[in-house]
Structure formats: structure tokens, C-alpha cells
Amino acid sequence: MDYQETLRYIESLKGLGIVPGLAGMEALCRELGNPQEALSFVHIAGTNGKGSVLAYVSNTLKCAGYRVGRYLSPVITNYLEKIQIGGRSITREELCRCMEAVKEACGRVTAGGLPHPTLFEVETAAAFLYFKEKQCDIVVLETGMGGREDATNLIQNTKAAVLTPISMDHMQFLGKTLTEIASHKAGIIKNGCYVITAAQDPDVMTLLEREAQTKGCPLTVADRISQIRYGLEKQSFSYVDAFGHKYSRLEISLAGKYQIENAALAVEVISCLGQLGFPVEESRLRQGLFTAKWPGRFEILGRRPLFVMDGAHNEDAAKKLAESVRFYFTNKRIIYIMGMLRDKEYEKVIAQTYAYADQIITLTPPENPRALPALALAEALREYHPRVTAAGSLEEAVEMAFLLAGREDVILAFGSLSYLGRLKAVVRKRLKK
């Protein structure tokens, strides 16, 4: 397959939907020779912060000289971003080759009477194959949904199981209560691995402690943070890891108050990996944290007016976004651009964020069958806010925001991650005029 044929093949698999469980993934990887068995993993689950923690951990390991694979979802700008080594996306040629091998393996799976693997299973298997071929020292892996029955959870050689803050998420698949959801996410914990978690709800923490104890895993909570200094361009904090080492004035360049917690979690992961044969000098840790980038998380696209985009698409992320808005933009006039998916709890996102906006513009996330129409989102917003306008397109929403904003104002675009890549391109084009 060439690149366009590969993309068409990927598109054709979207209709297979989500099938929880590992049976399909086991069959597919068996046909490929189980490439995941040759790899070591940092496995990350949680509701919010997975991508940022992945960025900090993988970038730090890269700076320390390791050959690091990383696998993430969803992507922001380009499909190739999904599979990376050393911060470089897989090439078109390599993607085509790996997908060709996986497609052939899928044919053997279905010939044996089993259902065709889902898109996420196909993508995950292709990533495993690529990382094995490139002989990665370690792979930093983000779950797609949940944990226990997620396709990524086929792996067994987990060095560190990482839990970012867990909140209500994918309830139709994971359960209706926080502990049910946490139980799924705790499924990434493997016998004897290190378990590193952010601060959690008390019931969630009890569940994680019990799971770790059952699997014979040391568990540490990344909560020993002090001397925090916030900023849009640079933030810093001090941290004491589980082994008693104190790091003073660690700096990060990612904005958002919540990034301090994400970075501290990454520091603890790096400390634990050091006990497992992956040592990282402090100078490389500092370099890795500060140079880590993660698009779509309180990312600044322009100034005067300040234009920020953020992937806050659920209640917990909206709470954290609102906290950052209150902290960074007190007494600023703020114009929102909002786009949501209809299967997300958009009314809870609205309730957490509406109060800080002077004007709100809604859009329909383009090219997404799950998109909530701009008019429907605007109607929901008008229950909370008097000044709401539905835009006919993403481009129209951006143009309206620039026309409304003064040079000292703030434009904040948030909601579904699915439209942020295109938004970024539109804003950059607009700023070049």
C-alpha cells in the first residue's frame, strides 16, 4: 500500500467501533510474532494528563540518551504523530510497511474465524511492530480508553504503571461510578512493576493501593511538591522523590497550573526507572522537563491578543482549565471558542467554564461524526450565558474571535481535541496576514 491507500485502509476500519477485551489484540499480535514481548514499557492510564506526562517522561529519557518509542492518542496535527521514536514521527514509508504487515495479519485472523481487529488494535499492533524493528530501549505508552481491557494492555513487560488523576470518563464502557472506572484503569498494574500515581480521590487511592499490594508492586504518590512558581512562559517547583532525593527549582515551559502536578508525576516515574536500569542524570532530567512540548494543552498560539487553545473536553479537565483561567487571566476580557463532541458531558464543561467569558463562539468540530452541532452547543450555553454566537465554520469562529478581541484581551479555544490541529493551522495563517 502507498500512503493514500494506507490512510483509506485506516479510514475503512473506523466503522468497527470499540470492542473492549484483549482477544482480538492477542490474535493479531500472535500473527505478528508478538513484537510487544521484545519491549519494555512505561504504561500510562488516567482521565486527564496522560499526554503531558508521556511528553515529560519520553523527552527526559530521550535527553538521557535512550531510544524511546512513544504511542499516543488522539493526535493533534498529523496522523503520523501517533507513533514516534525520539520525538520524530514515523515516516509515511515506514507506516505503510508496518500497516501492510498488520493488514496481512488481520487477513489471517479473520480466515481463522475471528472478527476483524478494530482500528485501535491495528494501530497499536503496528506501533509494537515498529518499535521492535527499531530496537527501542523503552516505550512510553498511553492507553486509549480505560486500562484493563484496552488494546495496549496486552503488554506484560511493564516497568512502571502510571496513573494520572482519575475522574468520570467513558462511562458507557467503564462503569457508572468512580471506583468502577478506576478499577478498569488500575488494570495496567502488572506483577512486580513500580506503580506511580498522582493524588487521587480517597476511594480511588484505596483501590490502587489494594491492587498494587495484590500484585506485589511498590506504590508511590507524587505529592511531595513545594516552592511552586507559576507563569505562562516558565514555571518551576521543587520535589522530593520516593527515594529521598530532593530536586530544587525544576523548570517547565508548558503553561497551565495543572502542569506542575504532571511534571512531578513524571519526575517520580524517572526516579523509579532509575532503580530498574534506566538511570537519568539530574542535568538530563532538567533538560527533558524544560524542553518537553505537548500541543493542545494550554498552548499559546499568538499574542496581542493572547490566543490559547486547550483540550478540556470533560468535567475534570474543565475544572483545571477554569483554575488556570482564574490564575493567569484575572481582570482580563476573555472570548471563548468552544467545540464539543455530543457523547461528552458538555453541559458539565459549560458549568465549570462559562462564568469567565465575555463572549462565547461555538463551532461544530469538522470532519467528526461525533461532533455536537454548533447550534446545539450554543443553545445549551444560552442557559448560562447571554452572549453566545454559533459560527458556521471553524474559520468563521476564528475570524469572529479576532474581530471581537482587543489587543489586551484573551481568546481561549477549548473542547474536543479533534479540532485543535486544524484550529492551530487556521490561527497561524490568520496571524501571518
In sequence order, the 6+-apart residues with CB closer than 8 A to the CB of 31 are 105, 106, 108, 109
Spatial separation of the C-alpha atoms in residues 267 and 258, rounded to whole Å: 15
Spatial separation of the C-alpha atoms in residues 177 and 238, rounded to whole Å: 35
Spatial separation of the C-alpha atoms in residues 392 and 162, rounded to whole Å: 41
List pLDDT tens digits, range 188-224.
Answer: 999 999 999 999 999 999 999 999 999 999 999 999 9
pLDDT at 14: 87
Tell me what the pLDDT averaged over the chain comes to.
Answer: 94
- Judge contact between 130 and 90, C-beta under 8 A: yes
H helix runs in 215-292, sequence order: 259-274, 282-291
pLDDT at 171: 54
Cell numbers representing residue 173 in the block: 464502557
**Domain spanning 3-291, CATH class:** alpha beta
In sequence order, the 6+-apart residues with CB closer than 8 A to the CB of 63 are 284, 285, 287, 288, 291
Residue the block writes with cell 526507572? 273
Q: Is 80 exceeded by the pLDDT of residue 83?
A: yes
**Domain spanning 299-431, CATH class:** alpha beta
Q: Is 70 exceeded by the pLDDT of residue 335?
A: yes
| Percentage of residues of the chain with pLDDT beyond 90 | 84
Confidence of residue 303 (pLDDT cuts 50, 70, 90): very high
Confidence of residue 170 (pLDDT cuts 50, 70, 90): low
The whole-number average pLDDT for the span 356-382 is 95
Domain ranges of the chain: 3-291, 299-431
Q: Is 60 exceeded by the pLDDT of residue 343?
A: yes
Cell numbers representing residue 305 in the block: 491578543
Helix axes 346-353, 374-381, angle to 10 degrees: 50
pLDDT at 73: 78
| Percentage of residues of the chain with pLDDT beyond 70 | 98
pLDDT at 169: 62
DSSP structure class, residue 341: B
